[in-house]
Structure 1
Amino acid sequence: MGTGEETWIARLTPAPGTSVADLLAMPLGLDVWERHTDSLVVAAADGDLDELERRRLARVERVTTTAQYLAQERDRPPAGDEV
């Protein structure tokens, strides 16, 4: 990941004619959080996601920044403390 760039949690859907396995086989340097049949959830720098889109390797859906995600998790009550 590039330095100084915003890091995003994003859903990647492979381009038509390719698969999740094809994306995983490429040396993209993505931090894969979840693997689904038709998509990946990754943490990646904004520039890396831009490059995936530019090369038309995947459809990129930016979900949230990692900073926002971590702040939400930090503010969430611990499991078992919910009413």
Structure 2
Amino acid sequence: MKELLRRWFYLKFVQKKSTVELMATASDLRNKSALSIVALLDVDEQMISQVVGKKRLIFVQNCHAYLKGSVNPADLDPGVSSNQYLELS
């Protein structure tokens, strides 16, 4: 899952593709789920908690923590600075 999260994060926030465009290219439920989690980085946590169950919320929070704490933009795209990444999260 971490690899999928990184891939979709790169496409959405580094290459600045729209969620709708990316969802059309997601090949299966696992990819769509990972993309959905990445897209929820734009949504307030309180709002997320209103639409997902407690177990799913914990999973989404863990995925977001991984993306915010572990994804180094330089590993994704050498042209992206850490400051640009921080603006996204």
| TM-score, structure 1 normalization | 0.31
Q: Which has the higher contact order (CA 8 A, sep 6+)?
A: 1
Higher helix share: 2
Question: TM-score by structure 2 length?
Answer: 0.29
Richer in strand (by share): 1
Quick check: which has more Rg, 1 or 2? 1
